Protein backbone atom coordinates (compact mmCIF):
# COMPACT_ATOMS: atom_id res chain seq x y z
CA UNK A 1 0.00 0.00 0.00
CA UNK A 2 2.96 2.28 0.65
CA UNK A 3 3.98 1.98 -3.00
CA UNK A 4 0.50 3.00 -4.12
CA UNK A 5 0.31 5.95 -1.71
CA UNK A 6 3.82 7.14 -2.49
CA UNK A 7 4.44 6.99 -6.26
CA UNK A 8 7.95 8.44 -5.91
CA UNK A 9 9.09 5.39 -3.96
CA UNK A 10 11.72 3.35 -5.86
CA UNK A 11 11.56 -0.43 -5.50
CA UNK A 12 14.32 -2.75 -6.63
CA UNK A 13 12.78 -5.72 -8.46
CA UNK A 14 14.95 -8.75 -9.27
CA UNK A 15 14.39 -10.24 -12.68
CA UNK A 16 13.66 -13.92 -12.96
CA UNK A 17 15.44 -15.95 -15.53
CA UNK A 18 13.39 -19.09 -15.49
CA UNK A 19 10.34 -18.02 -17.52
CA UNK A 20 10.52 -16.82 -21.11
CA UNK A 21 8.20 -16.75 -24.06
CA UNK A 22 11.00 -17.96 -26.29
CA UNK A 23 11.92 -21.16 -24.49
CA UNK A 24 9.84 -23.42 -26.71
CA UNK A 25 10.85 -21.81 -29.97
CA UNK A 26 13.41 -23.13 -32.39
CA UNK A 27 16.28 -20.71 -31.92
CA UNK A 28 18.17 -21.60 -35.08
CA UNK A 29 16.59 -18.72 -36.95
CA UNK A 30 17.37 -16.23 -34.20
CA UNK A 31 20.51 -17.22 -32.27
CA UNK A 32 22.39 -20.25 -31.04
CA UNK A 33 21.88 -21.84 -27.60
CA UNK A 34 25.25 -20.64 -26.39
CA UNK A 35 24.29 -17.06 -27.23
CA UNK A 36 21.05 -17.43 -25.27
CA UNK A 37 22.85 -18.84 -22.21
CA UNK A 38 25.36 -16.00 -22.39
CA UNK A 39 22.50 -13.52 -22.48
CA UNK A 40 20.94 -15.12 -19.40
CA UNK A 41 24.22 -14.94 -17.48
CA UNK A 42 24.50 -11.24 -18.24
CA UNK A 43 20.96 -10.76 -16.95
CA UNK A 44 21.78 -12.59 -13.70
CA UNK A 45 24.84 -10.41 -13.14
CA UNK A 46 22.91 -7.21 -13.71
CA UNK A 47 19.79 -8.19 -11.71
CA UNK A 48 21.17 -6.87 -8.44
CA UNK A 49 21.74 -3.39 -9.79
CA UNK A 50 18.61 -3.10 -11.94
CA UNK A 51 15.86 -0.80 -10.82
CA UNK A 52 12.20 -1.24 -11.67
CA UNK A 53 11.74 -3.38 -14.75
CA UNK A 54 14.56 -1.81 -16.71
CA UNK A 55 17.18 -4.23 -18.05
CA UNK A 56 20.50 -2.84 -19.17
CA UNK A 57 21.85 -5.38 -21.63
CA UNK A 58 24.18 -3.04 -23.36
CA UNK A 59 23.87 -1.54 -26.79
CA UNK A 60 24.55 -4.06 -29.52
CA UNK A 61 27.48 -3.38 -31.73
CA UNK A 62 26.36 -1.39 -34.73
CA UNK A 63 27.15 -2.95 -38.05
CA UNK A 64 29.12 -0.87 -40.43
CA UNK A 65 26.94 0.05 -43.40
CA UNK A 66 28.15 -1.11 -46.76
CA UNK A 67 29.13 1.97 -48.67
CA UNK A 68 28.72 1.51 -52.37
CA UNK A 69 31.25 3.30 -54.52
CA UNK A 70 29.81 6.40 -56.06
CA UNK A 71 30.31 7.21 -59.68
CA UNK A 72 33.10 9.70 -59.94
CA UNK A 73 33.14 12.53 -62.42
CA UNK A 74 36.91 12.37 -62.72
CA UNK A 75 38.56 10.74 -65.75
CA UNK A 76 40.91 7.82 -65.28
CA UNK A 77 44.56 7.65 -66.26
CA UNK A 78 45.16 8.30 -69.93
CA UNK A 79 47.95 5.74 -70.41
CA UNK A 80 48.84 2.42 -68.83
CA UNK A 81 51.51 2.19 -66.15
CA UNK A 82 53.85 0.49 -68.61
CA UNK A 83 53.60 3.40 -71.05
CA UNK A 84 54.16 5.92 -68.27
CA UNK A 85 57.28 4.10 -67.07
CA UNK A 86 58.72 3.59 -70.56
CA UNK A 87 57.95 6.95 -72.16
CA UNK A 88 58.87 10.05 -70.20
CA UNK A 89 56.57 12.23 -72.29
CA UNK A 90 53.61 10.48 -70.64
CA UNK A 91 54.79 11.51 -67.17
CA UNK A 92 52.82 14.72 -66.70
CA UNK A 93 52.14 16.41 -63.38
CA UNK A 94 48.52 17.52 -63.12
CA UNK A 95 49.19 19.81 -60.18
CA UNK A 96 50.63 22.74 -62.09
CA UNK A 97 51.46 24.16 -65.48
CA UNK A 98 50.38 22.53 -68.71
CA UNK A 99 49.59 19.29 -66.92
CA UNK A 100 46.92 21.04 -64.89
CA UNK A 101 45.47 22.64 -68.03
CA UNK A 102 45.41 19.24 -69.74
CA UNK A 103 43.68 17.71 -66.71
CA UNK A 104 41.04 20.44 -66.66
CA UNK A 105 40.44 19.86 -70.38
CA UNK A 106 39.98 16.14 -69.77
CA UNK A 107 37.55 16.82 -66.93
CA UNK A 108 35.50 19.11 -69.15
CA UNK A 109 35.43 16.56 -71.98
CA UNK A 110 34.53 13.82 -69.51
CA UNK A 111 31.53 15.76 -68.23
CA UNK A 112 30.40 16.48 -71.78
CA UNK A 113 30.68 12.85 -72.85
CA UNK A 114 28.89 11.58 -69.73
CA UNK A 115 26.03 14.05 -70.07
CA UNK A 116 22.66 12.57 -71.02
CA UNK A 117 22.03 15.17 -73.70
CA UNK A 118 25.28 14.31 -75.47
CA UNK A 119 24.41 10.61 -75.47
CA UNK A 120 20.90 11.34 -76.75
CA UNK A 121 22.28 13.53 -79.53
CA UNK A 122 24.73 10.81 -80.66
CA UNK A 123 21.98 8.18 -80.70
CA UNK A 124 19.82 10.52 -82.77
CA UNK A 125 22.69 11.03 -85.24
CA UNK A 126 23.22 7.26 -85.49
CA UNK A 127 19.55 6.71 -86.30
CA UNK A 128 19.57 9.48 -88.91
CA UNK A 129 22.73 8.16 -90.57
CA UNK A 130 21.28 4.64 -90.63
CA UNK A 131 18.12 5.99 -92.23
CA UNK A 132 20.18 7.82 -94.86
CA UNK A 133 21.91 4.56 -95.79
CA UNK A 134 18.51 2.98 -96.42
CA UNK A 135 17.83 5.40 -99.31
CA UNK A 136 20.78 4.14 -101.38
CA UNK A 137 19.84 1.68 -104.12
CA UNK A 138 20.94 0.57 -107.59
CA UNK A 139 19.41 3.68 -109.20
CA UNK A 140 21.26 6.15 -106.96
CA UNK A 141 23.66 7.16 -109.78
CA UNK A 142 20.74 8.08 -112.02
CA UNK A 143 19.13 10.26 -109.37
CA UNK A 144 21.67 13.03 -109.07
CA UNK A 145 19.59 15.16 -106.72
CA UNK A 146 19.04 12.39 -104.20
CA UNK A 147 22.69 11.35 -104.46
CA UNK A 148 23.84 14.90 -103.69
CA UNK A 149 21.35 15.19 -100.83
CA UNK A 150 22.73 11.99 -99.30
CA UNK A 151 26.42 12.86 -99.76
CA UNK A 152 26.34 16.07 -97.72
CA UNK A 153 24.58 14.56 -94.67
CA UNK A 154 26.99 11.63 -94.85
CA UNK A 155 29.91 14.05 -94.54
CA UNK A 156 28.23 15.82 -91.62
CA UNK A 157 27.58 12.52 -89.84
CA UNK A 158 31.20 11.45 -90.37
CA UNK A 159 32.52 14.72 -88.92
CA UNK A 160 30.21 14.41 -85.91
CA UNK A 161 31.31 10.83 -85.23
CA UNK A 162 34.98 11.79 -85.58
CA UNK A 163 34.45 14.61 -83.07
CA UNK A 164 32.73 12.18 -80.70
CA UNK A 165 35.65 9.76 -80.98
CA UNK A 166 38.18 12.52 -80.25
CA UNK A 167 36.19 13.71 -77.24
CA UNK A 168 36.12 10.18 -75.85
CA UNK A 169 39.86 9.79 -76.42
CA UNK A 170 40.50 12.89 -74.33
CA UNK A 171 37.84 12.11 -71.72
CA UNK A 172 38.41 8.39 -71.15
CA UNK A 173 42.04 8.11 -72.18
CA UNK A 174 43.54 5.53 -74.49
CA UNK A 175 43.68 2.90 -71.76
CA UNK A 176 39.94 2.96 -71.03
CA UNK A 177 38.82 3.57 -74.61
CA UNK A 178 40.79 0.79 -76.27
CA UNK A 179 40.01 -1.80 -73.59
CA UNK A 180 36.27 -1.50 -74.22
CA UNK A 181 34.85 -3.75 -76.95
CA UNK A 182 32.00 -1.33 -77.72
CA UNK A 183 34.47 1.53 -78.16
CA UNK A 184 36.44 -0.67 -80.56
CA UNK A 185 33.26 -1.18 -82.58
CA UNK A 186 32.70 2.59 -82.75
CA UNK A 187 36.35 3.12 -83.68
CA UNK A 188 36.26 0.66 -86.60
CA UNK A 189 32.98 2.00 -88.00
CA UNK A 190 34.21 5.59 -87.80
CA UNK A 191 37.44 4.56 -89.53
CA UNK A 192 35.46 3.01 -92.40
CA UNK A 193 33.52 6.25 -92.85
CA UNK A 194 36.72 8.29 -92.66
CA UNK A 195 38.52 6.17 -95.28
CA UNK A 196 35.48 6.32 -97.56
CA UNK A 197 35.27 10.09 -97.17
CA UNK A 198 38.99 10.50 -97.90
CA UNK A 199 38.76 8.26 -100.99
CA UNK A 200 35.87 10.32 -102.35
CA UNK A 201 37.83 13.53 -101.83
CA UNK A 202 40.86 12.09 -103.69
CA UNK A 203 38.77 10.68 -106.54
CA UNK A 204 39.30 6.99 -105.75
CA UNK A 205 35.67 6.22 -104.94
CA UNK A 206 35.26 3.93 -107.98
CA UNK A 207 37.98 1.50 -106.94
CA UNK A 208 36.79 -2.01 -106.15
CA UNK A 209 38.45 -2.03 -102.74
CA UNK A 210 36.82 1.27 -101.77
CA UNK A 211 33.41 0.05 -102.93
CA UNK A 212 33.84 -3.09 -100.85
CA UNK A 213 34.88 -0.98 -97.88
CA UNK A 214 31.81 1.22 -98.25
CA UNK A 215 29.60 -1.81 -97.69
CA UNK A 216 30.92 -1.93 -94.12
CA UNK A 217 28.99 1.28 -93.45
CA UNK A 218 26.02 -1.04 -93.01
CA UNK A 219 27.50 -1.80 -89.57
CA UNK A 220 26.67 1.74 -88.46
CA UNK A 221 23.33 0.77 -86.83
CA UNK A 222 25.31 -1.55 -84.54
CA UNK A 223 26.60 1.53 -82.74
CA UNK A 224 23.13 2.00 -81.30
CA UNK A 225 23.47 -1.32 -79.47
CA UNK A 226 26.09 0.04 -77.09
CA UNK A 227 23.78 2.89 -76.03
CA UNK A 228 21.00 0.71 -74.60
CA UNK A 229 21.61 -1.66 -71.70
CA UNK A 230 18.93 -4.13 -72.79
CA UNK A 231 20.49 -4.48 -76.24
CA UNK A 232 23.95 -4.88 -74.73
CA UNK A 233 22.68 -7.73 -72.58
CA UNK A 234 21.27 -9.52 -75.64
CA UNK A 235 24.52 -9.10 -77.60
CA UNK A 236 26.64 -10.14 -74.61
CA UNK A 237 24.41 -13.20 -74.17
CA UNK A 238 24.97 -14.17 -77.80
CA UNK A 239 28.72 -13.64 -77.55
CA UNK A 240 28.93 -15.38 -74.19
CA UNK A 241 27.02 -18.34 -75.57
CA UNK A 242 29.63 -19.03 -78.27
CA UNK A 243 31.71 -21.51 -76.16
CA UNK A 244 28.57 -23.39 -75.13
CA UNK A 245 27.25 -23.27 -78.69
CA UNK A 246 30.46 -24.91 -79.88
CA UNK A 247 29.82 -27.82 -77.50
CA UNK A 248 26.24 -28.14 -78.73
CA UNK A 249 27.49 -27.92 -82.32
CA UNK A 250 29.88 -30.80 -81.66
CA UNK A 251 27.00 -32.91 -80.32
CA UNK A 252 24.91 -31.94 -83.34
CA UNK A 253 27.69 -32.89 -85.77
CA UNK A 254 28.05 -36.31 -84.13
CA UNK A 255 24.30 -36.92 -84.38
CA UNK A 256 24.24 -35.79 -87.98
CA UNK A 257 27.31 -37.85 -88.84
CA UNK A 258 25.39 -40.99 -87.89
CA UNK A 259 22.46 -40.06 -90.12
CA UNK A 260 24.76 -38.89 -92.91
CA UNK A 261 26.58 -42.24 -93.00
CA UNK A 262 23.24 -44.04 -92.94
CA UNK A 263 22.03 -41.83 -95.80
CA UNK A 264 25.13 -42.59 -97.88
CA UNK A 265 24.59 -46.32 -97.39
CA UNK A 266 20.90 -46.08 -98.26
CA UNK A 267 20.77 -43.50 -101.07
CA UNK A 268 24.24 -43.11 -102.63
CA UNK A 269 23.85 -43.01 -106.44
CA UNK A 270 20.11 -43.75 -106.29
CA UNK A 271 18.82 -40.24 -106.96
CA UNK A 272 19.82 -40.24 -110.66
CA UNK A 273 16.95 -40.18 -113.16
CA UNK A 274 16.33 -39.68 -116.86
CA UNK A 275 14.65 -36.37 -117.57
CA UNK A 276 13.29 -34.69 -120.70
CA UNK A 277 15.41 -31.54 -121.12
CA UNK A 278 12.68 -29.80 -123.12
CA UNK A 279 9.76 -30.19 -120.76
CA UNK A 280 11.66 -31.00 -117.57
CA UNK A 281 9.48 -34.05 -116.92
CA UNK A 282 10.85 -37.39 -115.75
CA UNK A 283 10.35 -40.27 -118.16
CA UNK A 284 7.99 -43.00 -117.04
CA UNK A 285 9.49 -46.30 -115.99
CA UNK A 286 7.76 -47.96 -118.95
CA UNK A 287 9.81 -45.78 -121.34
CA UNK A 288 13.12 -45.65 -119.44
CA UNK A 289 13.91 -48.35 -116.90
CA UNK A 290 17.60 -47.73 -116.28
CA UNK A 291 20.66 -45.76 -117.30
CA UNK A 292 21.18 -47.80 -120.49
CA UNK A 293 17.71 -46.94 -121.80
CA UNK A 294 18.38 -43.26 -121.17
CA UNK A 295 21.68 -43.48 -123.10
CA UNK A 296 19.81 -45.02 -126.06
CA UNK A 297 17.48 -42.02 -126.13
CA UNK A 298 20.48 -39.69 -126.05
CA UNK A 299 22.10 -41.58 -128.97
CA UNK A 300 18.90 -41.11 -131.01
CA UNK A 301 19.35 -37.33 -130.52
CA UNK A 302 16.28 -37.09 -128.36
CA UNK A 303 16.08 -34.46 -125.63
CA UNK A 304 16.98 -36.71 -122.72
CA UNK A 305 19.56 -36.51 -119.97
CA UNK A 306 20.64 -38.76 -117.11
CA UNK A 307 21.03 -36.34 -114.19
CA UNK A 308 21.20 -36.27 -110.44
CA UNK A 309 19.26 -34.10 -108.02
CA UNK A 310 21.14 -31.11 -106.60
CA UNK A 311 20.85 -32.28 -102.99
CA UNK A 312 21.85 -35.92 -102.58
CA UNK A 313 23.64 -38.44 -100.37
CA UNK A 314 26.49 -39.44 -102.71
CA UNK A 315 29.06 -38.73 -99.95
CA UNK A 316 29.15 -37.62 -96.31
CA UNK A 317 29.66 -33.95 -97.23
CA UNK A 318 26.59 -33.85 -99.47
CA UNK A 319 24.80 -35.83 -96.77
CA UNK A 320 25.46 -33.04 -94.25
CA UNK A 321 24.06 -30.46 -96.68
CA UNK A 322 20.98 -32.59 -97.29
CA UNK A 323 20.40 -33.04 -93.55
CA UNK A 324 20.80 -29.30 -92.99
CA UNK A 325 18.10 -28.65 -95.56
CA UNK A 326 15.85 -31.23 -93.92
CA UNK A 327 16.48 -29.82 -90.42
CA UNK A 328 15.59 -26.28 -91.52
CA UNK A 329 12.44 -27.53 -93.30
CA UNK A 330 13.32 -25.63 -96.49
CA UNK A 331 12.84 -27.78 -99.59
CA UNK A 332 13.18 -30.97 -97.62
CA UNK A 333 10.10 -32.56 -99.22
CA UNK A 334 11.92 -32.95 -102.57
CA UNK A 335 14.75 -34.84 -100.84
CA UNK A 336 12.31 -37.13 -99.04
CA UNK A 337 10.30 -37.86 -102.20
CA UNK A 338 13.50 -38.63 -104.12
CA UNK A 339 14.51 -41.08 -101.37
CA UNK A 340 11.09 -42.74 -101.27
CA UNK A 341 10.97 -43.11 -105.08
CA UNK A 342 14.54 -44.47 -105.35
CA UNK A 343 15.03 -48.10 -106.45
CA UNK A 344 18.71 -48.86 -106.96
CA UNK A 345 21.85 -47.49 -108.58
CA UNK A 346 21.39 -46.70 -112.32
CA UNK A 347 17.68 -47.51 -112.14
CA UNK A 348 14.93 -45.05 -113.01
CA UNK A 349 12.99 -44.07 -109.84
CA UNK A 350 9.45 -45.32 -109.36
CA UNK A 351 6.67 -43.62 -107.40
CA UNK A 352 6.82 -44.66 -103.70
CA UNK A 353 8.95 -47.70 -104.40
CA UNK A 354 10.57 -47.54 -100.93
CA UNK A 355 7.89 -46.42 -98.48
CA UNK A 356 9.94 -47.48 -95.45
CA UNK A 357 12.37 -44.61 -96.20
CA UNK A 358 9.84 -42.28 -94.60
CA UNK A 359 11.03 -43.62 -91.23
CA UNK A 360 14.56 -42.34 -91.88
CA UNK A 361 13.35 -38.75 -92.24
CA UNK A 362 10.86 -38.97 -89.36
CA UNK A 363 13.54 -40.23 -86.96
CA UNK A 364 16.03 -37.61 -88.14
CA UNK A 365 13.53 -34.76 -87.72
CA UNK A 366 12.83 -35.88 -84.14
CA UNK A 367 16.43 -36.37 -83.01
CA UNK A 368 18.39 -34.29 -85.49
CA UNK A 369 16.10 -31.27 -85.73
CA UNK A 370 13.76 -30.98 -82.76
CA UNK A 371 16.31 -32.24 -80.23
CA UNK A 372 19.70 -30.89 -81.33
CA UNK A 373 18.64 -27.57 -82.86
CA UNK A 374 16.57 -26.65 -79.80
CA UNK A 375 19.70 -27.08 -77.70
CA UNK A 376 21.06 -23.94 -79.36
CA UNK A 377 18.03 -21.97 -78.20
CA UNK A 378 18.39 -23.35 -74.66
CA UNK A 379 22.05 -22.35 -74.46
CA UNK A 380 21.32 -18.81 -75.64
CA UNK A 381 18.45 -18.39 -73.17
CA UNK A 382 20.62 -19.69 -70.32
CA UNK A 383 23.37 -17.21 -71.14
CA UNK A 384 20.81 -14.44 -71.40
CA UNK A 385 19.59 -15.18 -67.86
CA UNK A 386 23.19 -15.15 -66.62
CA UNK A 387 23.75 -11.76 -68.23
CA UNK A 388 20.60 -10.45 -66.56
CA UNK A 389 21.92 -11.45 -63.14
CA UNK A 390 25.34 -10.01 -63.92
CA UNK A 391 23.86 -6.60 -64.71
CA UNK A 392 22.20 -6.50 -61.29
CA UNK A 393 18.80 -7.39 -59.93
CA UNK A 394 16.36 -9.87 -61.34
CA UNK A 395 15.22 -7.45 -64.02
CA UNK A 396 17.65 -5.56 -66.24
CA UNK A 397 14.97 -3.05 -67.18
CA UNK A 398 14.64 -1.57 -63.66
CA UNK A 399 15.61 2.05 -63.15
CA UNK A 400 18.54 2.99 -60.94
CA UNK A 401 16.22 3.96 -58.06
CA UNK A 402 14.40 0.64 -58.34
CA UNK A 403 17.71 -1.24 -58.29
CA UNK A 404 18.81 0.62 -55.14
CA UNK A 405 15.49 -0.17 -53.45
CA UNK A 406 15.73 -3.82 -54.52
CA UNK A 407 19.28 -4.15 -53.13
CA UNK A 408 18.23 -2.48 -49.86
CA UNK A 409 15.36 -4.94 -49.46
CA UNK A 410 17.74 -7.84 -50.07
CA UNK A 411 20.08 -6.55 -47.33
CA UNK A 412 17.18 -6.16 -44.87
CA UNK A 413 15.96 -9.66 -45.64
CA UNK A 414 19.35 -11.13 -44.83
CA UNK A 415 19.53 -9.52 -41.34
CA UNK A 416 18.60 -11.63 -38.29
CA UNK A 417 16.50 -10.25 -35.39
CA UNK A 418 18.22 -9.32 -32.12
CA UNK A 419 18.47 -11.76 -29.22
CA UNK A 420 15.17 -12.22 -27.30
CA UNK A 421 14.89 -10.77 -23.77
CA UNK A 422 13.46 -13.18 -21.14
CA UNK A 423 10.22 -12.14 -19.46
CA UNK A 424 10.61 -10.84 -15.87
CA UNK A 425 9.12 -13.20 -13.28
CA UNK A 426 8.95 -11.10 -10.09
CA UNK A 427 6.23 -11.43 -7.45
CA UNK A 428 4.66 -8.07 -8.26
CA UNK A 429 4.21 -9.00 -11.92
CA UNK A 430 2.79 -12.43 -11.10
CA UNK A 431 0.09 -10.88 -8.90
Domain ranges for the chain: 94-227, 242-272+308-388
Query: pLDDT (tens digit, 9 = 90+) per residue, 55-111?
Result: 444 444 444 444 444 455 666 767 666 666 666 666 666 666 777 787 888 888 888
More confident residue, 103 or 38: 103
Q: Which CATH class is domain 94-227?
A: mainly alpha
Return the pLDDT at 395: 54
Residue 326 pLDDT greater than 80, yes or no: yes
pLDDT range class, residue 359, cuts 50, 70, 90: very high
Least confident stretch, 17-26, 188-197, 383-392:
17-26
The C-alpha atoms of residue 229 and residue 78 are separated, in whole angstroms, by: 26
Domain 242-272+308-388 maps to which CATH number in 1.10.10.60, 3.30.1330.40, 1.10.287.70, 3.40.50.720? 1.10.287.70
Residue range 358-376: mean pLDDT, rounded: 90
The total number of residues shown for the chain amounts to 431
Highest mean pLDDT among 23-37, 168-182, 400-414: 168-182
Return the pLDDT at 338: 92
Residue 325 pLDDT greater than 60, yes or no: yes
Task: Compute the C-alpha angle 173/179/185, nearest 5°.
Answer: 100
Residue 419 pLDDT greater than 80, yes or no: no
The C-alpha atoms of residue 341 and residue 270 are separated, in whole angstroms, by: 9
pLDDT range class, residue 384, cuts 50, 70, 90: confident
For residue 215, with 0-12 CB atoms within 10 Å meaning exposed, 13-18 middle and 19 or more buried, which class applies? exposed
Residue 418 pLDDT greater than 80, yes or no: no
The C-alpha atoms of residue 193 and residue 378 are separated, in whole angstroms, by: 38
Return the pLDDT at 62: 46
CB atoms within 10 A of CB 173: 19
Return the pLDDT at 79: 65
Return the pLDDT at 319: 94
- Using a pLDDT cut of 70, give the percent of the chain over it: 72
Query: pLDDT (tens digit, 9 = 90+) per residue, 149-158?
Result: 888 888 899 8
Return the pLDDT at 114: 87
Residue 18 pLDDT greater than 50, yes or no: no
Return the pLDDT at 406: 79
Residue 16 pLDDT greater than 50, yes or no: no
The C-alpha atoms of residue 378 and residue 355 are separated, in whole angstroms, by: 35
Task: Give me the chain's average pLDDT, please.
Answer: 77
**Is pTM, for the whole model, over 0.75?**
no
- Using a pLDDT cut of 90, give the percent of the chain over it: 19
Return the pLDDT at 46: 42
CB atoms within 10 A of CB 153: 14
Residue 2 pLDDT greater than 60, yes or no: no
Residue range 379-401: mean pLDDT, rounded: 69
Residue range 358-371: mean pLDDT, rounded: 92
Residue 177 pLDDT greater than 70, yes or no: yes
Query: pLDDT (tens digit, 9 = 90+) per residue, 266-322?
Result: 999 999 999 988 888 888 888 888 999 889 888 887 788 999 999 999 999 999 999
Residue 145 pLDDT greater than 70, yes or no: yes
Residue 131 pLDDT greater than 70, yes or no: yes
Return the pLDDT at 429: 58
CB 384 within 8 A of CB 234: yes
Helix (H, G, I), strand (E, B) or coil at 306: strand
Residue range 383-398: mean pLDDT, rounded: 65
The C-alpha atoms of residue 77 and residue 62 are separated, in whole angstroms, by: 38
pLDDT range class, residue 226, cuts 50, 70, 90: confident
Angstrom distances, CA of residue 159 to CA of 187, 194, 243: 13, 9, 38
Residue 259 pLDDT greater than 90, yes or no: yes
pLDDT range class, residue 399, cuts 50, 70, 90: low
Residue 217 pLDDT greater than 60, yes or no: yes
> Which helix (H) or strand (E) covers residue 276, if one does?
strand 273-276
Amino acid sequence: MSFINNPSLTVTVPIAVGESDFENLNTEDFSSESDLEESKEKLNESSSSSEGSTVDIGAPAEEQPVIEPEETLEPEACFTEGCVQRFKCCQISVEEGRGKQWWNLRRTCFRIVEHNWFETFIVFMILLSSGALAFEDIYIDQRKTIKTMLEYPDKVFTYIFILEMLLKWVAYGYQTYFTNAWCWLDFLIVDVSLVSLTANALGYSELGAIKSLRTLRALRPLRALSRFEGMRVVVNALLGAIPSIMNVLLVCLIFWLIFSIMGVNLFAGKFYHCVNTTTGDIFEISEVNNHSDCLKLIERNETARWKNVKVNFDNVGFGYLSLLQVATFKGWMDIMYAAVDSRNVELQPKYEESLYMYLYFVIFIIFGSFFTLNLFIGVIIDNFNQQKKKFGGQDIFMTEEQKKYYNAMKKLGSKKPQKPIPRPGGCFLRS
